[in-house]
């Protein structure tokens, strides 16, 4: 019997508690044997964290889940899914704007790889407002005024440490 693999792509720059929550929920679904968190290398985006740092952050977040692995890829997610035998691409939805963009992307992926489905998961209301970009903006505008406890409500603890290290270093 063939393993049922799902792919959860994103830049994870940095990984948020919303991402971690989605990983938690998908990893527990009995419909998939394995979830691959796919760290996208997008040439049109300038990441704030190096690929190695993003891998380290995601790796820390997935430790509790034996059926979750990490990979990286710079091509189309649909091609990656086909190459790795995935039956689904998982995408999180936070707001209506996400749906419009994700719907269009899902249709394109379906055209490229008809045998790969897209699974949309609604964000946990607790994290629906979070995005990596928004967190970085808040931290850049006043990281010294945000306590670790508040940051921990937004990102995993490893990310809090890496954000502190990154912005303390940049401020020197």
Answer yes or no: is pLDDT of 147 > 90.
no
Query: Any idea what the CATH number is for the domain that residue 68 is in?
Result: 3.40.50.620
Element (H, E) at 8: strand 5-10
Taking alpha carbons only, the member of 26, 114, 41 closest to residue 72 is 41
**How many domains does the structure of the chain reveal?**
1
Q: Tokens standing for 1? A: 């019997």
Average pLDDT, integer, range 124-139: 92
Residue positions annotated with a catalytic role: 19, 45, 94, 132
3-class secondary-structure state, position 50: coil
At residue 170 the predicted structure's pLDDT band, cuts being 50, 70 and 90, is low
Distance CA 87, CA 107 (A): 15
Buried b or exposed e, range 44-70, using 16+ CB within 10 angstroms: eeebbbeeebbbbbbebbbeebebbeb
Provide the terminal-to-terminal Cα distance of the chain, rounded to the nearest Å.
56
pLDDT surpasses 90 at 114: yes
Q: How confident is the model at residue 167 (pLDDT cuts 50, 70, 90)?
A: confident
Model confidence pTM above 0.85: yes
Work out the average pLDDT over 127-136: 93
Residue 40's domain comprises 5-170
Q: Can you give the pLDDT at residue 169?
A: 61
């Amino acid at each position: 019997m063939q393993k049922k693999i799902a792919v959860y792509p994103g830049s994870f720059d940095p990984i948020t508690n919303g991402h971690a929550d989605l990983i938690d929920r998908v990893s527990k679904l009995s419909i998939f044997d394995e979830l691959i968190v796919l760290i996208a290398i997008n040439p049109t985006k300038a990441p704030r964290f190096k690929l190695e740092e993003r891998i380290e952050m995601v790796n820390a977040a997935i430790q509790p889940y034996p059926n979750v692995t990490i990979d990286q890829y710079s091509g189309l997610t649909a091609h990656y899914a086909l190459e790795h035998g995935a039956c689904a691409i998982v995408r999180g939805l936070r707001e209506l704007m996400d749906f419009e963009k994700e719907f269009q992307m899902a249709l394109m992926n379906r055209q490229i790889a008809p045998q790969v489905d897209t699974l949309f998961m609604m964000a946990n209301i607790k994290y629906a407002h979070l995005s990596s970009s928004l967190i970085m903006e808040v931290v850049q505008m006043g990281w010294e005024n945000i306590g670790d406890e508040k940051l921990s409500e937004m990102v995993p603890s490893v990310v809090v440490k890496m954000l502190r290290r990154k912005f303390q270093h940049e401020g020197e």
